Amino acid sequence: MAKNEIISGKKELDINAVTTCDATAQMLRKARRDGVETAFDRAANMKACPIGKDSACCKHCFMGPCRLNAKDPYSKVGVCGATIDTIMARNFARAVCAGSAAHTDHGMGMLDLFRDVLNGKIKDYGIKNPQKCIEVAASIGIETEDREFYDVAMDLYHELERTYTQVDGEIPFAKRVPAKTLETWRKEGIVPRGAMREIMELMHRSTMGVDQHYENITKACSRAALADGWGGSMVATEISDILFGTPSPVAVEVNMGVLKEDQVNIIIHGHEPNLFESMVESVNEPTLVQAAKDAGAKGINLVGMCCSGLEMFVRHGVPHAGNFMSTEAVLVTGAVDAMGVDVQCIKQGLVKVADCYKTPLITTNPRCHIEGATHVEFHEHDPKGCTDEIVIQAIGRFKNRSMPIEIPQIVNTGVHGFSHEYINYMLGGSFRASYTPLNDNIINGRIRGVAGVVGCTNPRMKQDYVHVELVKELIKNDVLVVQTGCSQIALAKAGLTTPEAAHLAGPGLKEVCETVGMPPVLGVGACVDNSRILIAVTEMVKTGGLGDSIADLPVAGCAPEFMSEKAIAIGQYFVASGVYTVFGVTFPIVEGTKFHKHLFQELEERGMGKWGFAVDPHDIAAKMIAHIDKKRKALGIDKARERVLMDMADRRDMEAA
Ligand code: XCC
């Protein structure tokens, strides 16, 4: 077996200290025996740069790089005179730009596909959910009554294109924002115009010698991030639902035990559902199924990982093998016959691990080639040209499997796919679908508040540990948890995404879960589907009784093991939308600086949310619960009491007053 040069003299990995995922741990032990290195080994042997970690380094020009002292942040400035606040704000801005660009580009790809499906240029995809198309169009003021579907859909396309290309005005989904939240944005000057403009301008502002006031840079960060959350990400979610169907809850299998030794195993990893949708077609193609059988396989087993997997398991019941820090480990099973990837979170290290096990690693997106991987380009006008080829390569590898195979025999089943539409239906029933029961249960205290726990896993943290401990503590305290991204898979592996997990919840939340038959932890989708959480909190505001803006709600968010710039963009759009958002691992800002105070305190004073930071799951939970309680107190619902509904007489009295 080719080894990927695990270098002698390196620190040996303490496997039990780096992951709580038993399957990943088993594969890391095998990797050690096989002489294969993963990101866990590299993280253990590469100390994070202490200056970069604190964001005290500026390399936006070539008079530097300039290094400031995080311990004495105001003792020095850069060669140009840039202060620590300017340097940190610029670095933060670049992360927001990159993260927002990733999601908005993904959304734009979905929109391109939608247009070409409508105009008939692409025939391999269709519109699975025309009703949603009408609803989304109506939500942004497009006339839908007595009109042809095509006309409404085309109007929707043109309107949503403004999310990207508009140079002045407000992005279309600003119409969905609760009035008071939008008023705050307007007052602060942070309503996004168009994503291209905001991202371009923020890149400009954060270049040498332009914006050198951290407050002004933060405003531009909010605009770019909001162009992601209420723009590109929301477009990605809504258009994906229109094209591929809106998820509703389904029991799905998670963990590496979903691989089958006697089948051709294909993993799709990345973010965009168009590739994966076509894979579903290809693995069901009779000639390819027959080819797999002729090669001695019982069938073709299609499996997802990371966000691609999250998009698909709720729409097609495709099983999910694991989250970000398991993508190398899963190859160590020797059972993966091909891994197809598109964009985002694809570690370059996968190439060497795949090579060790003779697994074809196939890149498919023109944006993402990887040296040493095979590139088979995916085209939406001929999607199966690419996805059939992935299957063919996988069958070829299956036929010539020469590696010993070891599949961790662990499978967890969870219920996922709680779109905001389904939450509406689930709580209210088909006759009175609404968020009223949720709001009522928050007001009467059965549910203390709602927490979004989202985001990546990171080899600097014990994999899954913080996600799981944090969520356990939240639900024990009657906080309903909604989830996206790799965090959702951590909780699924821990068995908390089942209705039975209600017994782990506090008495109020348990009662609600048991009445409705829902888990205390609701998986709502991939990272772009954080937009579903934005819509859910908007519905909570609009339903009434919990204040006038998102900032009034007893809600909080967290990405406890984040690693991606996309998470910073997500965090900033939640903060700008009014949500207290706590990050773990590390925060690229020096404490005790003006920029730190701005993000962690002053934004809230201006009617938005604010950032928080803690590493330990119990500390994070304490911060989130304290914030939820603070909001309950401000709403006057800190003591459990029944909601008093206004009747007509009350209304008349109010109007007369
Ligand atoms: Fe990537 Fe989306 Fe993070 Fe997972 S949660 S590591 S961004 S796959 Ni999106």
pLDDT of residue 217: 98
Q: Ligand 1 centroid to 277 CA: how many Å? A: 19
Q: Which residues pair with 125 in a beta bridge?
A: none
Taking the CA of residue 344 as reference, the ligand 1 atom at the shortest distance is 1
Residues 529-557 have pLDDT tens digits of: 999 999 999 999 999 999 999 999 999 99
Mean pLDDT, residues 509-519: 92
Provide the pLDDT confidence category of residue 53 given band limits of 50, 70 and 90: confident
pLDDT band of residue 382 (cuts 50, 70, 90) is very high
Q: What pLDDT score does 432 carry?
A: 61
Query: What spacing in Å lies between the alpha carbon of 367 and ligand 1's midpoint?
Result: 17
H/E element holding 558? strand 555-559
The DSSP call for residue 337 is S
Per-residue confidence (pLDDT) for residue 434, from 0 to 100: 82
Interval 403-430 mean pLDDT: 86
Average pLDDT over residues 387-412: 97
How many CB atoms are located within 10 Å of the residue 179 CB?
Answer: 11
pLDDT at 655: 45
pLDDT at res. 516: 87
* Confidence (pTM): 0.94
pLDDT value at residue 640? 56
Residues whose CB falls within 8 Å of the CB of residue 479, separated by 6 or more in sequence, listed in order: 447, 448, 449, 450, 451, 509, 624, 625, 628
- Pick left, alpha or beta for residue 305 (phi over 0 → left; psi -120 to 50 → alpha; otherwise beta): beta
Confidence band of 199 (pLDDT split at 50, 70, 90): very high
pLDDT band at 647 (very low <50, low <70, confident <90, very high): low
* Band of pLDDT at residue 254, cut at 50, 70 and 90: very high
pLDDT of residue 405 exceeding 50: yes
The Cβ of residue 246 has, within 10 Å, a number of other Cβ atoms equal to 22
Ligand 1 neighbours by CB, cut-off 6 Å: 271, 306-307, 323-324, 345, 455-456, 485-486, 526-527, 564, 566
Residues in a beta bridge with 582: 558, 612
| Average pLDDT of the residues of the chain | 94
Q: Is the pLDDT of residue 9 over 60?
A: no
Closest CA to 311 of 264, 252, 369, 260: 252
Provide the pLDDT confidence category of residue 308 given band limits of 50, 70 and 90. Answer: very high
Probe residue for ligand 1, chosen from 484, 487, 489, 527 as the CB with the greatest number of ligand atoms within 8 Å = 527
In the predicted model, is pLDDT for residue 235 greater than 70? yes
pLDDT at 210: 98
Work out the pLDDT band at 152, boundaries 50, 70, 90.
Answer: very high
- Tell whether the model's pLDDT for residue 645 goes beyond 60: no
pLDDT score of 313? 87
Among 167-171, 312-316, 465-469, which is the least confidently predicted range?
312-316
**Start-end of H helices in 46-83:** 50-53
Distance 338 CA to ligand 1 centre (A): 21
Over residues 66-121, the pLDDT tens digits come to 999 999 999 999 999 999 999 999 999 999 999 999 999 999 999 999 999 999 99
Average pLDDT over residues 158-168: 97
- Sign, CA dihedral 518-446-435-648, equals positive
- Going by pLDDT thresholds of 50, 70 and 90, the confidence category of residue 649 is low
Mean pLDDT of 219-228: 98
Of the pLDDT bands very low, low, confident and very high (cuts 50, 70, 90), residue 506 is very high
Probe ligand 1: pick from 453, 456, 460, 467, max atoms within 8 Å of CB? 456
pLDDT at 301 > cutoff 90: yes
What distance in angstroms lies between residue 306's CA and the mean position of ligand 1's atoms? 6
**How far, in Å, is the centroid of ligand 1 from the Cα of 508?**
32
Band (pLDDT 50/70/90 cuts) for residue 423 is confident
Considering the chain, what percentage of its residues have pLDDT values greater than 90? Answer: 89
- Residue 6: what pLDDT? 47
Q: Say what the pLDDT of residue 5 is.
A: 47
User: Which residue from 456, 416, 421, 449 is spatially nearest to 435, judged by alpha carbons?
Assistant: 421
Cα–chain center distance at 434: 25
Q: What is the pLDDT of residues 556-606, one digit of tens each?
A: 999 999 999 999 999 999 999 999 999 999 998 999 999 999 999 999 999
Please say if the pLDDT value at position 249 is more than 70: yes
CA of 456 to the centre of ligand 1 (A): 5
